[in-house]
Amino acid sequence: MNDCVLTIGKFEGVHLGHRALLKEVICRAKDLGLASVVLVFSPHPVKFLRDPEYKPIFTEHERNQLIKNFGIDEIITLNFDSDFAAMTAKKFCEKLDGFNAREIIVGYDYRFGNGRDGSVETLRENSNASVRTVKLISDNDFISSSRIRELLFNNKFDDARQLLGFSFFVTGEVSKGRQLGRVLGFPTLNLYPPEDKYLPQNGVYETRTFIDGDSYTGLTNIGVRPTVSEETKISVETHIPELNADEMYGRQIKVEFLRFIRPERRFDSPEELQLQIQKDLKGFSR
C-alpha cells in the first residue's frame, strides 16, 4: 500500500479518548498529504484471550462505520488468532513495516506484543516509521470502554454519552417478527442484533430511532417478551406511535438509548401489559 499515517487499537467504543487519537491521525495525514489508516482486530482480543462470551459495545460493522464517519480513509482488520497472540513485540513492529507507515500515532501508554511487553519506546526502536504519541485524556478524566460498559449496565445513559461523545445505539435491518406487538395494539420495528453485540439489561427504554435521516422518539423493549412469547432469543423491539411498522421491513435503522423506564417482566395477562405500555408511553421527551 502507499505511504500513510497509521494508528492501531481495538477502538471498541470509539469514545472521546479514541477520537482524540483519530483526530491527530487525520490532521497529520492531511499535513503530509497521505492516507489516514487504522488497524483494528477481529475478533476482539478480550474475546479471544480471556472471555469467549465477551460482547463489545459495538459490532465490528458499527465500530468501523463510526471510524469511517469520523474521517479515516482506510480501515485494515488484523486477524487476532493464536499466532497473532503469541507474536513478540519486535515481530509485531516488523509486521507494521509492511503497511508503509511514514508515521505511527498511538496513545502515550500504548502496549503491544505477547504479554504486552512492547511499549512506545519499543515501537520507536524497531519501526521504520516516525512514532508520535497522544495523551488521550486529561489528568482528571477517566475514559475507557470498560467504564462505559459499566455505565450502560447501570442504565446511566447520560453519563455514558458524556464519555462516548454520542448516544449508545443499536443498528440493524428491520425484521418481520411474530407481530405480537400488533396484537397488543403497539406494532414494533424488530431488530435481532448479533449474539456478540453488547446490549443493556432486558427492559423498557425511551429511545430515538433514525430512519433515512429522520428521527423519532419511541419505546424500545430489550428481551424475550415473557408475557406473550416463550422464545429465548433476545430482540430489540421499538414502538413508534406515528409510524406504520408494516412499511419499515427491510429498512436499516439506528436506535439510540436515552432513558431506562423499567425492567422487563411477565404480566398476568396481555391486557395488563397493554395498560403498562400505555403508562410507559407517557412523559416522553418529545
How does pLDDT run across 143-181, given as a tens digit for each residue?
A: 889 999 999 999 999 999 999 999 999 999 998 766 555
pLDDT at res. 280: 84
Q: Are residues 135 and 15 in the same domain?
A: yes
d(C-alpha 101, C-alpha 97), whole Å: 7
CATH of the domain at 44: 3.40.50.620
| Domain end point (choices 121, 140, 159) | 140
**pLDDT tens digits for 174-213?**
987 665 555 566 888 999 999 889 999 999 999 999 999 9
Residue 275 in any domain: the answer is yes
Residue 157 in any domain: the answer is no
Q: Are residues 176 and 107 in the same domain?
A: no
d(C-alpha 232, C-alpha 45), whole Å: 28
Q: Are residues 67 and 172 in the same domain?
A: no
Q: Are residues 204 and 244 in the same domain?
A: yes
Q: Are residues 104 and 52 in the same domain?
A: yes
pLDDT at res. 242: 86
Could you tell me if 119 and 220 are in contact, meaning their C-beta atoms sit under 8 angstroms apart? Answer: no
Which domain covers residue 191, as residue numbers?
167-280
Where the chain has pLDDT below 50, the residues are 139
Q: Are residues 124 and 8 in the same domain?
A: yes
Cell numbers describing residue 153: 449496565
Q: Are residues 39 and 101 in the same domain?
A: yes
pLDDT at res. 180: 59
pTM above 0.75, yes or no: yes
Could you tell me if 104 and 6 are in contact, meaning their C-beta atoms sit under 8 angstroms apart? Answer: yes
Q: Are residues 62 and 125 in the same domain?
A: yes
CATH of the domain at 251: 2.40.30.30
Residue 162 in any domain: the answer is no
Q: Are residues 121 and 189 in the same domain?
A: no
Q: Are residues 249 and 131 in the same domain?
A: no
d(C-alpha 240, C-alpha 260), whole Å: 16
d(C-alpha 25, C-alpha 44), whole Å: 22
Beta strand 203-211 pairing with 130-134:
unpaired
Which residues, 6+ apart, have CB-to-CB distance to 231 below 8 Å? 224, 225
Provide the 3-class DSSP secondary structure of residue 79: strand
Residue 267 in any domain: the answer is yes
Residue 43 in any domain: the answer is yes
How many domains are there within the chain? Answer: 2
Host H or E run for residue 279:
helix 270-280
pLDDT at res. 120: 95
Burial of 147-176, coded b for 16+ CB within 10 Å and e otherwise, reads ebbebbeebebeebbebbbebbbbbbebee
Give Cα separations from 91 to 38, 87, 112, 136, 272 (angstroms). Answer: 19, 6, 11, 26, 62
Residue 129 in any domain: the answer is yes
Residue 256 in any domain: the answer is yes
d(C-alpha 64, C-alpha 215), whole Å: 22
pLDDT at res. 187: 85
| Domain end point (choices 140, 158, 184) | 140
Residue 160 in any domain: the answer is no
pLDDT at res. 139: 47
